Structure 1
Amino acid sequence: MKKKTQAVALLSLIPMAAAAQRYNIVYIMTDDHTAQMMSCYDKSHISTPNLDRIARDGIRFVNSYVANSLSGPSRACMLTGKHSHNNGFTNNEHGIFDGSQQTMPKLLQKAGYETALIGKWHLISQPTGFDYWNIIPGQGDYYNPDFITMKNETVREKGYITNIITDKSINWLEKQRDKSKPFALFIHHKACHRCWLPELKYLREYEDKTFKVPDTFYDDYKGRAAAAAQEMSIASSHDMDIVYDDKIYTPGAATRLTNSYLNMIGRMDSRDRADYDCFYDSITADFKQRNLSGRELAEFKYQRFMRDYAKVTKSLDDNVGRVLDELKRLNLLDSTLVVYTSDQGFYMGEHGWFDKRFMYEESLNTPLVMRLPAGFKGRGEIKEMVQNIDYAPTFLELAGAPIPADMDGVSLLPLLKGQHPKNWRKSIYYHFYEYPAEHSVKRHYGVRTDRWKLIHFYNDIDEWELFDLKNDPHELNNIYGQPGTEKITKELRKELRRLQAQYRDPIESQLK
């Protein structure tokens, strides 16, 4: 009788034990936030203490990459666990995300999770697979932004967008979710997207800081035809607009993007606008007096870009801290996986650029830090190569849900548990499609290993690039076709074909 009672008691604990393993997920994703601007990766620019909290209390991936360095496609890769050609959303310029397809949030719902998305969607179609959503239209606005509700109503909110997205997320955690279910909350920020409009209380931050000009700022793109053809140069008056990007405006100014700039800041009320104008008018007056040109002008634009980007990031870091504090207050930290990442990396003056798109390191690489639930042993730096197609299978395995065989990504759960599988991937595949389009980056695909990178630019161009990342980490010296590279080129071409076959991308055979 005693043994039977003990058995019944043990059986009664099984559902509780199982429930204890239904970990919550808080996925915080920003737009265009690069690892160079997170102090847990690079201390030379700014301090991000709250983002660093996630890394300090968990894990920091140092070889984290995207499959397509562009906002919408990157989001589609995350949602589906598939490369762009398999999820159907290859670029922002054409097409619409097919919301009827299998996605990770839908599979989490089937597994008993409540799902919510707040902030930037940027996939044209309305969200599917979420029990609750409240999104910004398109790129959204930093000041007094519009939000689209589940009733398809557009509502203008007063305030700064990063704060509002966090307010809505915290409100959902506190008051709107079903507390009997595990949850997956996706917090998608507009920050740090162009054109870097700061929260008004931080207008004057970083104005006393001079950012070091990158060593590659004056890259001449020798031997790299596609790099030379881009239109994302800080120095170029066409690419980085002095009004839109640098806020150097006087009445009557007429640049390519002046009207867009005036529409954005025109959303402020008169009091906020007066504070804004007071600050940037003084910078404009100083700029006019200096009459800069050439390298002096390029470096002035670089400093303005860096300072405003840093200000936007400061508000973002504040709000990440608010979410962490709220999870702690609700006693959810030990049962929640907190993920912070961006939809891709970004150029902070490297090669003289802003923006992303290329398979070069600064935009291929994306920050990825995770605070792990109690019991997970992963800590510190993770060196294994991971991609954003891995998030979906990771969340599904964490939820105890099956991972569909047609997903291209692999679960990162072994790494979160402190394991280092010997059969982990040794290379990653990349494919960028959006050309012709804004910034004029040619279509290309390629393979990256721990040391080597092989890229093929195609469509209106047929150029190959090969880089030795050990001896040329800034990717300045294209050694494709040079004597002595025949063996490694052959090996990389073979690996490229293997990955294209694995991921069912027929592009190289179609180009022959």
Structure 2
Amino acid sequence: MERPNILFIFSDDHALNAISAYGGPLARLAPTPHIDRIAREGAIFNSSFCANSICGPSRACILTGKHSHVNGFVDNDNSKFDGTQWTFPKAFQAAGYQTAIIGKWHLVTDPTGFDYWEILPGQGNYYNPDFLQQGGGRKRYPGHVTALTTKLALDWLDKNRDKSKPFVLMCQHKAPHRNWMIAPEHFTVFKDTVFPEPKSLFDNYANRASTLKTQKMQIDADMTWTSDLKVLPNPLGQENDKVGELNRMTPDQAAAWKAAYAAENKALLAKFPTMSEADKLHWKYQRYLKDYLRCVRGVDESVGELLDYLDKSGLAKNTVVIYSSDQGFYLGEHGWFDKRWMFEESVKMPFLIRWPGVVKPGSKPDALIQNIDYAATFLEMAGIPAPKDLQGESIVPILKTGKTPRSWRKAIYYRYSGEQTHNVAPHDGVRTDRHKLIYFPSTKEWNLFDLKRDPNELRSVHTDPGYAGVLAELKVLYVKLRAEYKAPEW
């Protein structure tokens, strides 16, 4: 049997609620037809989770098949990826595959295990971005980063690879990462749309851990008027709040970008002195959602271009296509943007896969999968033996049958070690198909959620006598999984 190619399309901070195949309140207003095509022609996982909801750590988990505390990349503040350790691209190289990564890398050290790479430095830029070159130095390309990443990926597929070998290509987008700088072709998308607000937009964080109130990722208090929301001039007179990307634009790009926001900004500034705080939050939410979803529109169009190329080139029939993102993201739920917390919107990550002839089109497996499973899965797809020390498991049996094996995990383990950014407290926990237990070591607090009765996670039931049995059971499971995954003590 011919070994399959693997095209791994990856974005940054893509919430499940911003993918129409997942349903949700935005599906009709902000469809993603090309990403949805992967689900329609393959499978979509609704219980897909990350092991650590931050950009760099999630990527390291995928490469190594191991939790952050084992692979060494625990946060974006101080970690550097150890490129000498085993990664799945190295195994593919050794097995005769050609490997490439293009776009956002975000692991500090240079990529290893790739025959070709061209990556953004750090977070990279949206406009006229620099790409680090494999031979050294950097190259600046004119245009928007999403279109450029797509073009570079297509160029490699069509012109720059060894077509006698099967390939693994990781096409990794910056979008829709903060601060949501949209491409000119999307300036007017959603212009007249009013997006529904989540029920928890005005969350007061009662009935849960005290640490929730000390975070700094609220739309109303922490999202900046100019850098994040593109309001010029700054309505609060904050001179340090600037749109840094303007410095990278040509005069024509900057003029067009400013003009796109001018009318709405003028209307806001006129009424700003008399607006209530609630009115300001309503306005911020709409601007935030529109720019975020405009960035998503660009990613979805990129997926369409890549799928079209596979069709036209004849590669589609033997290429596994995966769409995923490093984690989810808050689109106003709990009043937040960003990620990090073990709440559903950020711990869930999209996973859609098309594998012609293997995955039944329209499949919706219910297995609890995690990003530490990707490496083992890719290896089994290609018939490559997996190292015994991988912490993830291959989901190939699930992909082939659409069913969850009896021996499959009944819970996932999550661990966030904390960063200065957004002041989110360290925590870890376990999640089953119905319940979630979170431990906050800094305050020694437990939270327990019944996801069936309280899907928005607004009330912890850890002190409810009716849940005493569930709490005790999950605490035992928590200890078990911490030991199994070699989690260090707090």
TM-score interval for Structure 1 and Structure 2 normalised by the shorter chain:
over 0.9
Aligned to 1:221: 205
Contact 1:234–1:349 (CA under 8 A) maintained in structure 2: yes
Read off the aligned partner of 1:233 and give its amino acid letter: Q
Counterpart check, 1:41 vs 2:25: no
| Corresponding residue of 2:344 | 361
Q: 2:215 aligns with which of 224, 230, 233?
A: 230
Distance 1:468 1:252, change over 3 A: closer
Q: How far off is 1:43 after superposition?
A: 5.3
Alignment partner for residue 58 of structure 1, among 28, 37, 42?
42
Residue 92 to residue 164, structure 1, CA distance change in 2 (3 Å)? same
Deviates more, 1:128-137 or 1:308-317: 308-317
Matches within 5 A, 1:134-283: 134-224=118-208, 225-236=210-221, 239-250=222-233, 255=238, 258-259=241-242, 261=243, 263-283=244-264
Aligned-partner SS, 1:382: coil
Instruction: Give the C-alpha shift of residue 42 in structure 1.
Output: 2.1
Distance 2:360 2:309 in 1: 24
TM-score (norm 1): 0.92
Aligned-CA RMSD value: 1.4
Q: Distance in 2 between matches of 1:322 and 1:201?
A: 16
What is the TM-score when the length of structure 2 is the normalising length?
A: 0.96
Q: How does 1:379-394 map to 2 (within 5 A)?
A: 379-394=362-377
Partner of 1:409: 392
Aligned residue type for 2:281:
A
- Number of residue pairs matched by the alignment: 483
Q: Which residue is equivalent to 1:4?
A: none
1:461 is aligned with what amino acid? T
Aligned to 2:265: 284
Does the CA-based 8 Å contact 1:378-1:419 persist in structure 2? Answer: no
Moved more, 483-492 or 191-200: 483-492
Q: Which residue of 1 aligns with 2:283?
A: 300
Question: 1:379 offset after TM fit, Å?
Answer: 4.1
SS of alignment partner, residue 238 of structure 2: coil
In structure 1, what residue type is equivalent to 2:478?
L
Partners of 1:256 and 1:34 lie apart in 2 by 32
- The range that moved more, 217-226 or 96-105, is 217-226
Counterpart Cα distance in 2 of 1:351 and 1:118: 34
8 Å contact from structure 2 (residues 448, 460) kept in 1: yes
Where 1:340 maps in the other structure, the secondary structure is strand
Post-superposition offset of 1:266: 2.0
Partner of 1:130: 114
Give the secondary structure class of the aligned counterpart of 1:390: helix
1:384-426 CA distances to partner (integer Å, 9 max, x unpaired)? Answer: 1000000000001111111111111000101111252121111
Aligned-partner Cα distance in 2 for 1:218–1:84: 33
TM-aligned CA deviation for residue 271 of structure 1: 1.2
Distance 1:443 1:257 in 2: 30
Q: How far did residue 223 of structure 1 move?
A: 2.5
Rg larger for: 1
The percentage of aligned residue pairs carrying the same residue is: 44
User: Are the counterparts in 2 of residues 111 and 400 from structure 1 also a CA contact under 8 Å?
Assistant: no
Q: Is 1:71 matched up with 2:48?
A: no
User: Structure 2: any 5+ residue segments left out of the alignment?
Assistant: none
Aligned partner of 2:407 in structure 1 is 423
How many Å separate the matches in 1 of 2:113 and 2:199? 45
1: CA distance, partners of 2:239 / 2:293: 25
Give 2:32's aligned amino acid.
T
Q: Return the alpha-carbon distance in structure 2 between the equivalents of residues 117 and 456 of structure 1.
A: 36
1:420-456 C-alpha deviation (Å, 9 max, x unpaired): 2121111000000123x11110000000001110000
2:416 paired with 1:453: no
**1:97-126 deviations in whole A, cap 9, x for unaligned?**
101101111111111111000000000001
Conservation of the 8 A alpha-carbon contact between 1:243 and 1:257: no
**What CA distance in whole angstroms lies between the structure 2 residues aligned with 1:276 and 1:293?**
28
Residues 225 and 234, structure 2, Cα contact 8 Å, conserved in 1? no
- SS state of the match for residue 383, structure 1? coil
* Aligned match for 2:4, one of 23, 27, 46: 23
Give 3-state SS (helix, strand or coil) of 1:117's partner.
Answer: strand
Residue 92 (structure 1) aligned with residue 76 (structure 2):
yes
User: Which of 464, 468, 478 is the equivalent residue of 2:460?
Assistant: 478
